[in-house]
């Protein structure tokens, strides 16, 4: 870390979190650091439960989970693989959160989180602008059940689509906002500390090294795109809720085409419209859709 960033990290109280991020590949910012209030979390939770019911037709509660039986196309295993003969999924993925409610846009531009992501991805190779951009914003809604990701916990690196070898610079980075308490029994995220330094996919037996990213409601779980992670199955009643702001290096393809999907949405309705514009990439040179460089004309 350069001296300027080090001074800013110390001033903002993020120094220990940056050190943990560099050492373990994951750190957890409590709500007293991010500034996220209990009322803000309540609004986020209500927005997600309302959207789940609108998309599925199934009422759902934080205390009990889905209140009706659910049917999955193809058993749902196309997205949540748990092995042959596994029970139906007890998890759903809601996508395009930035369109659902302002609270998710505010999470994406949280200044403390943005500092960590900026640290992980650095500046663009050409020019001095920051390299981090948004890739997507999604939510995993998880309820009690034996369904899981199998004995390997579904461990994977998020930047696995990028060819090896990777370097120290994060090509993607994940910020999982815990909207309920995260414990191992509650189906917390699982990760292998220090795995981001191995610059590879998980090796056999990696699940034996995995620990739970336990965090209180309102915390931000921040991790490097090369960190091996998955999840434990949920053994307790009610829901495990999160909102994931997923970031990418400017050189990496986004998951959601935000420049298109957010163009006519209220992207500027957030705590930092200028940062949101940059994170979406509205002013990026690539990918272009029309002639951007000036051409000469025949002299008159």
Q: Alpha-carbon distance 263 to 176, whole Å? A: 25
What is the structure's pLDDT at 84?
Answer: 65
Q: Alpha-carbon distance 206 to 47, whole Å? A: 36
What is the structure's pLDDT at 82?
Answer: 57
What is the structure's pLDDT at 225?
Answer: 98
What is the structure's pLDDT at 13?
Answer: 86
List the one residue out of 205, 220, 215 whose CA is nearest residue 153. 205
The dihedrals phi and psi of 127, each to the nearest 5 degrees, come to 90, 175
Which domains are present in the chain? 3-67+90-280 (2.60.120.620)
Chain Cα centroid distance, residue 262? 18
DSSP state of 207: G
Q: Alpha-carbon distance 108 to 125, whole Å? A: 24
| Angle CA 159–219–38, to nearest 5 | 140
Helices (H) and strands (E) in the chain, counts: 8, 11
End-to-end CA distance of the chain: 55
How confident is the chain (300 residues) per 10-residue block, as mean pLDDT? 60 89 98 96 98 95 94 63 69 96 98 96 80 96 85 93 94 98 96 96 96 97 98 95 97 95 97 97 88 85
What is the structure's pLDDT at 253?
Answer: 95
pTM over 0.75: yes
What is the structure's pLDDT at 21?
Answer: 97
């Amino acid at each position: 870390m350069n001296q300027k960033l080090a001074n800013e990290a110390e001033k903002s109280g993020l120094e220990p979190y940056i050190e943990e991020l560099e050492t373990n590949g994951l750190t957890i910012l409590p709500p007293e650091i991010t500034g996220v209030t209990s009322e803000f979390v309540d609004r986020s939770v209500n927005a997600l439960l309302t959207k789940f019911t609108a998309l599925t037709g199934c009422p759902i509660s934080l205390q009990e989970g889905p209140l009706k039986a659910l049917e999955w196309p193809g058993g749902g295993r196309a997205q949540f693989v748990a092995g042959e003969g596994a029970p139906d999924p007890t998890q759903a993925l809601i996508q395009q959160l930035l369109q659902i409610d302002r609270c998710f846009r505010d999470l994406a531009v949280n200044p403390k989180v943005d500092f960590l992501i900026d640290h992980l991805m650095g500046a663009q190779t050409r020019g001095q602008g920051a390299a981090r951009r948004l890739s997507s914003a999604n939510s995993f809604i998880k309820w009690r059940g034996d369904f899981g990701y199998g004995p390997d916990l579904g461990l994977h690196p998020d930047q696995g689509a990028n060819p090896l070898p990777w370097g120290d610079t994060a090509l993607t980075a994940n910020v999982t906002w815990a909207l309920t308490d995260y414990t191992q029994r509650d189906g917390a995220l699982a990760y292998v500390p220090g795995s981001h330094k191995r610059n590879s996919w998980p090796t056999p037996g990696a699940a034996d090294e995995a620990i739970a990213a336990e965090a209180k409601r309102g915390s931000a779980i921040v991790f490097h795109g090369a960190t091996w992670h998955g999840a434990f199955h949920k053994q307790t009643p009610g829901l495990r809720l999160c909102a994931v702001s997923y970031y990418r290096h400017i050189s990496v393809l986004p998951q959601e085409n935000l420049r298109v999907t957010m163009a006519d949405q209220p992207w500027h309705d957030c705590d930092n419209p200028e940062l949101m514009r940059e994170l979406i990439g509205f002013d990026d040179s690539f990918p272009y859709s029309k002639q951007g460089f000036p051409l000469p004309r025949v002299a008159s």
